[in-house]
């Protein structure tokens, strides 16, 4: 049975890093980073909300195709409302796949400082895109506000596995994520 794994977390908590590492260890699994999909849409930054919805719609179609072929899908995505997580859970059920929701937890200051450091060193397009969106925000502390919305959302979720993510210990975070995922695999505990 394939897995559909949602990796949620505050900005710069390691979602994309963990998803990439998981995919590197699982043959033909898909790292479905919606920020990458969104970045493929022309002039998306002019309409970021509409582009985000379009990217999510495309991602669901991609995930459906991959799950139906019996392969795992990993979705690193910052979420603060239940709609998309619910859509992914329904998709997994439709495709006879296991849905696993994991939240990577960092503290507010770590999220802010990690995002700032990542922005300064932005090599990946998704990091530059995230910095551009934050730069356009009218909020005084956009990353802090995103963290606060994430924490509030997470408080309302009972079916999410929470992992404290130590940015300096990616291997430990990875082991914790793999431990949770293994429970959903055939023969898992």
Q: What is the DSSP string of the chain?
A: --EEEEEEESTTSSHHHHHHHHHHTSTT-EE--HHHHHHTSTTGGGSHHHHHHHHHHHHHHHHHHHHHTT--EEEE---SSHHHHHHHHHHHHHTT-EEEEEEEE--HHHHHHHHHHHHHT--SHHHHHHHHHHHH--SSSHHHHHHHHHHHHHHT-SS-EEEE--TT-HHHHHHHHHHHHHTTSTT--
Closest alpha carbon to 4 in 64, 58, 56: 64
The reported pTM is: 0.87
Q: Other C-beta atoms within 10 Å of 187: how many? A: 5
Give the pLDDT confidence of 48-102 residue by residue, as tens digits. 889 999 999 999 999 999 999 999 999 999 899 889 999 999 999 999 999 999 9
pLDDT at 122 over 70: no
Please tell me the predicted confidence (pLDDT) of residue 131: 59
Give the pLDDT confidence of 12-44 residue by residue, as tens digits. 888 999 999 999 999 999 999 999 999 999 998
Average pLDDT over residues 178-186: 92
Q: What are phi and psi of 103, to 5 degrees?
A: -115, 130
* CB contact at 8 A, 6 and 85: yes
Task: Tell me the CB-side half-sphere exposure of residue 147, using CA atoms within 13 A.
Answer: 18
**What are 167's two structure tokens?**
């940015």
Domains and CATH numbers, the chain: 3-182 (3.40.50.300)
* CB contact at 8 A, 20 and 104: no
Q: How sure is the predictor about 136, in pLDDT bands with cuts at 50, 70 and 90?
A: low
Sign of CA dihedral 78, 23, 60, 67: negative
């Amino acid at each position: 049975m394939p897995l559909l794994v949602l990796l949620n977390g505050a900005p710069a908590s390691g979602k994309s890093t963990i998803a990439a590492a998981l995919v590197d260890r699982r043959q033909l699994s898909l790292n479905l980073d919606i920020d990458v999909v969104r970045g493929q849409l022309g002039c998306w930054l002019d309409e970021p909300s509409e582009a985000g919805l379009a990217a999510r719609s495309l991602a669901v179609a991609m995930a459906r195709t991959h799950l139906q072929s019996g392969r795992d899908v990993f979705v690193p995505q910052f979420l603060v409302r239940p709609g998309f997580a619910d859509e992914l859970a329904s998709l997994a059920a439709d495709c006879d796949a296991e849905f696993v929701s994991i939240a990577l937890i960092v503290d507010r200051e770590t999220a802010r400082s990690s995002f700032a450091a990542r922005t300064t060193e932005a090599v990946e397009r998704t990091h530059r895109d995230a910095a551009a969106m934050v730069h356009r925000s009218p909020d005084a502390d956009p990353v802090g506000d995103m963290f606060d919305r994430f924490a509030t959302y997470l408080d309302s979720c009972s079916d999410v596995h929470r992992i404290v993510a130590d940015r300096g210990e990616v291997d430990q975070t990875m082991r914790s994520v793999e431990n949770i995922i293994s429970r959903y695999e055939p023969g898992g505990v």
